[in-house]
Amino acid sequence: MYDRKCTVVSCSVSVGMKKSDGKPYEFFHFPKDVRRLKRWTRVVNPQFPDFVPKPHSLICERHFRQKDLLFNKPDSMDGPDPHGDNSLDEDPDPDFTQTTGFQTSSLPPRESAHSYALNSCDWTLLEDEGDLETSVKNRTCCASEIPVMRMRVKNMERKCDVLFLKLRCLLQLEQSNGAAASSWQHSKWMMQSINGAFGEDLPSQTKAVEDFEKMQMCALRAIEEQELARVSRHKQIRQQDADSCADYHQKDHEDIGIPNHSIVEPSTSSSHAYHHADDERTTVYRGERRGEIVFGDSTHEEEIIIVEEPRLAPDSLVLLHPSEERLLNQDEIRYFVARVILRLPSETVTKPRIRMQGPKWLQAVDDIDILAAMNDLRSKGLLVIDEMRRARNSNITVYVKARPESHVAYEELMGYYHLTNPPVVTGNES
């Protein structure tokens, strides 16, 4: 532990020493400014001009004038500099105390020859010292009032700035009002000149303009009615197609309508008709409502495989039911996401790959629902984490689809997701 004492060579004041009034000495660090640091080092060690103080080096208050300490601290940017004269301090050196330096002698005091003159000089010095103390007190009071006066000056400057801004705003407002009044006068003069030029023809022209606007409004209403009629007709056509799919009396040689306006011809070799679109299949029997998902049964005479996928709302990224005009709930969204995962053409499954290879409506699904669908498939044993690829890329969890021969209830789970023929993968993908 280093000794915390004054760095000046001729000073012996250390941290913890007290002055004659009982107050401890105050210490100051060396400034960081290069010029001020050079001036301080000349005072501290004049014999060695290249002296460099340490970060913990200090200088006591005995090397500064008291009047300098009243105005500003030496640690500040524009603080005072120390002086090499140790007599600046009113207190003596701590090593030279009153008890050791001025011991009374046992010999009787000797009277001087000019005692009267000395006494008169002492009285004169005492009067001068009294005046000096009074001036020092007055100077101290003035120094204590300086910060208060500075604050008052700053407040007055701030008030002057506010008043100046208000005055400038008033001048700008007056100028804008004058410009508005002049423009109003100009427009009034223009109207008067127009009325004088056209005379009585101005009302007739105004009426013609109003008639033209009415004709435009009528045309817009007619266009809007035509658009509404077209939309309603389109809905009727879709409803007729849906009803034709569920018609019990439809003959075998007639075409079977699909909700997405595609045509499926009934097969002569089998009682089932299939419609392929990205390997997405949903089993719907005759007599069932459009959009309902049911399991297959061999007792039905005819079976239609149609494609049903969620729809995006035209105005927002909201998933709608494939056949009903309602929003999908969370379980339905995760069900359709799981079907998309199982239909991916790749063996490995990651969240970015699902985003890239999935349909467009998948972009409206949150990552939370995608991760939940992946966890659901993992809990059912249809997805398995690939530990080797996970070790190579720890940021992304890589899953591998389960093979039919490695899962006991594979066909049953595929039937739950209505995927009878999942895509066949040849080889592993990196």
pLDDT digits (tens, 9 = 90+) for 282-327: 444 333 334 444 434 434 333 334 447 888 887 777 888 888 888 8
Predicted local confidence at residue 56, as pLDDT: 83
Could you tell me if 392 and 272 are in contact, meaning their C-beta atoms sit under 8 angstroms apart?
no
Mean per-residue pLDDT over the chain, rounded: 70
Q: Specify the pLDDT at position 79.
A: 66
The answer to whether position 12 is within a domain reads yes
Q: What is the pLDDT of residues 335-361, one digit of tens each?
A: 999 999 998 888 888 888 898 888 888
Q: Could you tell me the pLDDT band of residue 13, with boundaries at 50, 70 and 90? A: confident
* 228 falls within a domain: no
Grouping H, G, I as helix, E, B as strand and the rest as coil, residue 399 is strand
- Whether residue 255 is contained in a domain is answered as no
pTM: 0.31
Return the HEC string of 165-183. HHHHHHHHHHHHHHHHHHH
In-domain check, residue 289 = no
35-45 tens-digit pLDDT? 888 888 888 87
Per-residue model confidence (pLDDT) at position 63 = 84
- How many Cβ atoms sit within 10 Å of the Cβ of residue 309? 18
Instruction: State phi, psi for 261 to the nearest 5 degrees.
Output: 65, 25
**Lookup result for tokens 């001048």:** 171
The whole-angstrom separation of Cα 260 and Cα 240 is: 12
* DSSP 8-state class, residue 423: P
Residue 106 lies in a domain: no
User: pLDDT tens digit string along 163-194?
Assistant: 988 898 998 888 888 888 888 888 778 777 76
326 found inside a domain: yes
Q: List the strands of the sheet with 348-349, edge to edge.
A: 348-349, 399-401, 383-385
**In 76-114, where does DSSP find H-type helix?**
98-101
Structural contact between residues 281 and 418, judged by C-beta atoms closer than 8 angstroms: yes
Closest by CA to 291, choosing from 255, 260, 251, is 260
Domain membership flag for residue 227? no
Q: Looking at 98-107, 201-210, 395-404, which range is the least confident one?
A: 98-107
How far separated are the first and last CA of the chain, in Å rounded?
63
Q: Which helix or strand (DSSP H or E) is residue 349 part of?
A: strand 348-349
User: Which tens digits make up the pLDDT trace of 62-81?
Assistant: 888 877 776 666 766 566 77
CATH of the domain at 329: 1.10.10
Bridge-based pairing state of the strands 303-306 and 272-274: parallel
Closest CA to 255 of 239, 270, 273, 271: 273
Q: Which of 301, 261, 269, 268 is nearest to 285 (CA)?
A: 301
**Domain of 329?**
309-416
Relative orientation angle of helices 367-379 and 330-342, to the nearest 10 degrees: 70
What is d(CA 273, CA 281) in angstroms, rounded to the nearest whole number? 11
In a domain, 22, yes or no: yes
Q: Out of 95, 126, 160, pick the residue that ends a domain.
A: 95
**Residue 297 pLDDT:** 42
Helix then strand then coil, % of the chain, to nearest 5: 50, 10, 40
Residue 313 CA from chain centroid, whole number: 31
Using one digit for the tens of pLDDT, what is the confidence trace for 356-379? Answer: 888 888 888 888 999 999 999 989
Instruction: State how far the Cα of 260 lies from the Cα of 306, in Å rounded to an integer.
Output: 9
Residue 171 near residue 177 (C-beta atoms within 8 A)? no
- What pLDDT, in 10s, does the model give residues 75-124? 665 667 776 655 444 444 444 444 333 444 444 545 444 444 444 444 44
- Of the residues 46, 65, 95, which one is the last residue of a structural domain? 95
Domain end point (choices 75, 95, 115): 95
